Amino acid sequence: MYTQSTRIGRSQAIPNHRARGGTPQGRGAPSASALTLSGLHALVANLESRMLAQEKKIALLEQENSGLEARMVAQEKKIAVLEENSDLWQEIHRLKGPRFPPEIFLLIINSARGDEEALKTFSLVCKSWMSITREILFARITLSAVCWSGKVKPVPILNNPHCTVFPHVRAIIIDYSTTMGAGFLEPTWIDDYLVHMPKFSALTSLELYSLRPVYLDAINRAMPPTKKRGILRLVLYPEWLEMSAIAAFVSSFTDLKTLRCGGMDESLTYWLGANEPLVPPPSSLTKLVLGDSGHLSSAVLKWCTDLHSGVIKSLSPHELPTKHPVIFRDFIHRFAASLSDICLPIRGNGGAVHFLNAQYFTTLSHLRSIMLHFWDFELQLAWLPTIIAQLPPSIEDIGFFTPDLDPLSCHKSAAIWFQLDHALLGGTLPSLRSLTIVCDLFWKEKEALVKEMWPQLLPRFAEKRVLAVKVPKDFLSMVCPLSYLLLTLELTPLLVVFFD
């Protein structure tokens, strides 16, 4: 008879049989674990714990769902309120009026150029104004020897990991001329600045004053090739540096467009060296601003005449070429086809006579713009008809830069201006479209009187709306008119921000 004990005994005997020799189906068959009451109890307990966890999750989901339903109800109520008050919101928008375009705000901010306190205030208005004012405030910085030893040192500011001025700087001035003696500074003062040169991502202009050869070498090593290619304007006033070293340094800036240079009044032989070969200037160089009256200017002109593979479109010498007229004549003949913009200072009757007798303007067949800087306007006014007569028909813009004027003396020479008024608008200069007169007034109270004077002296220009009269607002123009002139002829003037 088959009983419960028999079934249990057989179920216990099967594992023993498999352990001894296998099963009738053969060795290696998988063994089934025996189901006991304790195991069944454990399974039931595990299932109950899982069900409790599931119930808790369901409760949380229901709670979240109720919160979402409450939010949806609140949103629907808000939408209903807005729809009910839509007429009111439209009336409010009408009363507020439209928003100003960003160009208006840009004009407001640009009007404060030169006023550092106003720019700082503008930077606190909003985020967009802050970014614009930073472009102006930090566009040009000075890293001088005095700053390095001053109370407020720029080096800790630049070393700060949170410094944000680097992407806004477009021009850097490095100046050693204000030191007091050779032993005033440690030799490594410039290295503290140059370590940050790769961080200035927007740098396009570099101005170097009174730097020794060792400092120029340090600058050359500190700037990677990609950074040098970004330099478009270079101002170089070296100290005890031969022309071969100047040529090598300038040529390292392969995309340079504007070079302004000056130096001590050494002999031409010193600057040109003892027949030492020179590196050619960058082929991209198109503008020369010669900021001194020494022989370095002539050396640069000869350097470009002999080795420049590109074209020169703009020339601004410090004075008329009287020391080395042959070098200037060769330069004019070499670039006569490309020169389109020239600025000439007229001072001293001897230099003016020599220049006009040389007939330089007659060879500049593509000249489009000319600026004449008169040091003594009353005495040199007589040269204007001769100068105008030599200008080519391609002239489009003529400018006069005059020092402090006396309106009474100008009215005395009204006959000359009357002749020029008719001659300039005649058939000899068919391309002429503008006449700009920059009056450098020391006494600002005469500004309105002077601006009213020129339309009376040049009525035809005023009638055709091609006459522009400007009075510089910068104090630099009252102290050094030529320096202001050179700044206005170059790229848009940038605000200088001093750290000290």
Q: Tokens 């005649």 — which residue?
A: 426
pLDDT class of 352 with cuts at 50, 70, 90: low
* pLDDT winner (highest mean) among 21-25, 262-266, 407-411, 492-496: 407-411
pLDDT, position 306:
92
Residue 382 has pLDDT above 80, yes or no: no
Q: In whole angstroms, give the CA distance from residue 164 to residue 200.
A: 10
> Are 435 and 461 a contacting pair, CB within 8 Å?
yes
**pLDDT, greater one: 412 or 32:** 412
Q: In whole angstroms, give the CA distance from residue 146 to residue 178.
A: 7
H or E stretch including 142? strand 140-144
Residue 24 has pLDDT above 60, yes or no: no
User: What are the extents of the domains in the chain?
Assistant: 65-90
pLDDT, position 21:
45
Q: What is the mean pLDDT of the chain?
A: 75
pLDDT, position 127:
80
* pLDDT winner (highest mean) among 86-95, 120-129, 292-301: 120-129
pLDDT, position 180:
44
**pLDDT, greater one: 450 or 316:** 316
Q: Comparing C-alpha atoms, which of 348, 353, 369, 293 is closest to residue 324?
A: 293
The stretch 387-405 carries a mean pLDDT of 84
H or E stretch including 470? strand 467-470
Question: What's the pLDDT tens digit per position in 193-235?
Answer: 888 888 898 999 999 988 878 888 888 888 889 999 999 999 9
pLDDT, position 495:
28
Residue 407 has pLDDT above 50, yes or no: yes
Ramachandran bin of 69, using left for φ above 0, alpha for ψ from -120 to 50, beta for the remaining angles: alpha
Of 201-215, 395-409, 475-489, least confident by mean pLDDT is 475-489
> Are 179 and 209 a contacting pair, CB within 8 Å?
no
Q: How far apart are the first and last CA of the chain?
A: 114
Q: In whole angstroms, give the CA distance from residue 44 to residue 41.
A: 5
Question: What's the pLDDT tens digit per position in 354-374?
Answer: 777 777 888 888 999 998 887
pLDDT class of 282 with cuts at 50, 70, 90: very high
> Are 328 and 298 a contacting pair, CB within 8 Å?
yes
Residue 27 has pLDDT above 70, yes or no: no
Other C-beta atoms closer than 10 Å to the C-beta of 204 total 17
pLDDT, position 480:
37
Instruction: Indicate the SS3 state at residue 176.
Output: coil
pLDDT, position 117:
87
Ramachandran bin of 185, using left for φ above 0, alpha for ψ from -120 to 50, beta for the remaining angles: beta
Angle 27-29-35 (CA atoms, 0-180°, nearest 5)? 130
Taking the mean position of all CA atoms in its chain, how far away is CA 165? 12
- The percentage of the chain sitting over the pLDDT mark of 90, rounded to a whole number, equals 14
Residue type, 366: H
The stretch 267-278 carries a mean pLDDT of 60
The stretch 113-129 carries a mean pLDDT of 83
pLDDT class of 22 with cuts at 50, 70, 90: very low
Paired tokens of 383 = 């040269």
Instruction: Indicate the SS3 state at residue 70.
Output: helix
